[in-house]
Amino acid sequence: MARGKPTILVGITGGIGAYKSCELVRLLQKRGFRVKVVMTEAATRFVTPLTFRTLTGEPVAVSLWADEPESKVHHISLAEEADVMAIVPCTANVMAKLAQGRADDMLTTTALATEAPLVIAPAMNTHMWRKETTRRNVEVLRARGAVFVEPGTGELACGDVGEGRLADVRIIANAIETEALRSRDLVGVHVLVTAGGTQEPIDPVRFIGNHSSGKTGFAIAEEAARRGARVSLITGPVSLPDPFNCEVVRVQTALQMRAAVLARFDTTDVVVMSAAVADFRPAAMSADKIKKGDAPEAIELERNPDILAELGERGSGVLLVGFAAETNEVVTNAQAKLEAKRVDLIVANDVSDPSMGFGTEHNKVYYVTADGVDETPVLGKRTIARDLLDRVAALLQSRKG
């Protein structure tokens, strides 16, 4: 990711709205951004690359094959340079390719390679915009964290009147600017995130555990890293790949998680405890697999340390965010945890609903602080991660005064 003047990579696809991207490029430059352009072949039928080359003073990428040789593979260097990638206008076809992860030209290859936030401003005929397949593609991309600037209503190039017109370029520029500011708001901040559930062994093959998939914590770690934070992710056993640019520590038990957290706590600015830490562990672990005939009548349990409460007790000035998995009286119980564990913010969720919380892609949460409670609608976990880190960034800012 670029440092210095933020770089916006504007991707232009083949729609009549492509001419409005000229204005967008100028607007972004006026707002202090460096702008680079990547176009599909179809887009060059509407506006020439020369126009954008002249506006930006930068080479315009179109083909994977024909450009001048670069020191680095071109789509990768573009992908890495971008602080934000914005596809304006985005056709139904390119949206479908993005949703499927297809990469068959310079624009889609760069979009797949970049870690930068993606802003998509679709423009198409009303019927295409309303089609079930297009709606699904929008949802898939939203769930992956893409920000959509919805098309407006009006007269379309095809003569129809309805939804599908490219949104006002000032609104698109605002959305891009918001993402660009976000992409740096945690630079210099060390964020420690815990994720997944701990496993407390009974014997070498059995354990006490829970259904946490790690999706929530991994999304938070990934988003924090994307916004410039130094991230340590301490995770219980989950089947997710390491997020980009994070220190990842894989542990099994609550005691191991505690040790990994405490080892990093002194250099940490923010702790987000999204892990489902087991409150109890078997008092003794059998060295060998317990045979069916030798099964004990009961397993004696011992209390695990409460990692978050221990951090709260220290009163260290580190910003502490806890989660609360509740099945009833969600807010009241979360408020009690906020106080008992002496944390700044509790993200409470109702885990009695099997469609949300543990293992799912979506969740609905309550942000509980000493100042009050904010309730969200059902959102993708990446959107929750983004929203939560907006709140963390604001809290850090208010502490600075």
Least Å from the CB of residue 183 to ligand PMT: 24
Can residue 149 be called a binding residue for ligand PMT (CB under 6 A)?
Answer: no
Can residue 308 be called a binding residue for ligand PMT (CB under 6 A)?
Answer: yes
Q: Which of 1, 82, 307, 392 binds ligand PMT (CB under 6 A)?
A: 307
Burial 101-134 (b: 16+ CB within 10 A, else e): eebebbbbbbbebbbbbbbbbbbbbbebbeeeeb
Q: Which of 11, 117, 122, 214 binds ligand PMT (CB under 6 A)?
A: 214
Tell me the site size for ligand PMT, rule CB under 6 A: 27
From 22, 90, 158, 246, the catalytic residue: 158
Nearest CB to ligand PMT, comparing residues 247 and 306: 306
Stretch that binds ligand PMT, among 55-63, 83-91, 115-123, 317-325 (CB under 6 A): 317-325
Least Å from the CB of residue 218 to ligand PMT: 8
Least Å from the CB of residue 348 to ligand PMT: 8
Least Å from the CB of residue 217 to ligand PMT: 6
Q: Which of 227, 337, 382, 386 binds ligand PMT (CB under 6 A)?
A: 337
Tell which positions 250-269 bind ligand PMT, by CB under 6 A: 254
Least Å from the CB of residue 147 to ligand PMT: 21
Token couple for 86: 């914005």
310 backbone φψ class: left, alpha, beta (φ>0; ψ -120 to 50): alpha
Residues 6+ apart with CB under 8 A from 91: 13, 14, 15, 42, 122, 123, 124
Nearest CB to ligand PMT, comparing residues 12 and 257: 257
Stretch that binds ligand PMT, among 45-53, 65-73, 208-216, 372-380 (CB under 6 A): 208-216
Burial 357-387 (b: 16+ CB within 10 A, else e): bbebebbbbbbbbeeeeeebeebbbbbbbbb
Nearest CB to ligand PMT, comparing residues 196 and 380: 196
CA separation for the pair 332, 198 (Å, rounded): 26
Least Å from the CB of residue 254 to ligand PMT: 5
Contact 99, 134 (CB under 8 A): no
Amino acid in position 207: F
Q: Is 90 a catalytic residue?
A: no
45, 60, 166, 194, 317 from 24: Cα distances, Å: 19, 15, 12, 40, 43
Spell out the alpha helix ranges (H) of 239-380: 254-265, 307-314, 330-340
Give catalytic residue positions: 158
Binding site for ligand PMT (CB under 6 A): 196, 212-216, 254, 273-277, 279, 304, 306-308, 322-325, 337, 349, 351, 357-359
